Structure 1
Amino acid sequence: MRNFSWKYFAMTGDLDAYLLYREAGDSPEGSGPLPAEEEMAIDEEAQ
C-alpha cells in the first residue's frame, strides 16, 4: 500500500495520497517517521 500511494502521489501530486503514504510508513510500534536519508532516497527515486 505504501509503494502504491507514493507512486500515485508522484504521478498526480494528490495530497491525500501523500498523507496515506506517510501514515503507512509509521510502524505500529510508534518508531516515527522515516530517517531523512531514507526520505531523500525515496524522493530521488520518484523523480
Structure 2
Amino acid sequence: MKDFTWKVFYQTGNIDTYLLFKEMEKEHADGPDMLDEERSSPDFPVM
C-alpha cells in the first residue's frame, strides 16, 4: 500500500497523498502488527 501511495504522489505531486504516505511510513516503523489498543495500553512504553 505504501508503494501505491508513493507512486500516486510521484505522478501527481499531491501533498495530501505525500502526507498519507508519511503517516503510513511512521505507523509501519512503530510496529506494523500492533493494534491501536495495544499501542494505547498502559504497558506499552511511552517514547
Asked whether 1:17 is paired with 2:13, we answer no
**Residue aligning to 1:5:** 5
Mark the CA change 1:28 to 1:10 in structure 2 (over 3 Å): closer, same or farther.
closer
TM-score by length of 2: 0.53
Larger Rg: 2
Identity of matched residues, %: 43
**Residue aligning to 2:30:** 29
Higher relative contact order (CA 8 A, sep 6+): 1
- The size of the alignment, in residue pairs, is 30
Measure, in 2, the Cα distance between the counterparts of 1:10 and 1:29.
Answer: 24
**Residue aligning to 1:38:** none
User: What stretches of structure 1 of length at least 5 have no aligned partner?
Assistant: 31-47
Cα RMSD (Å):
1.8
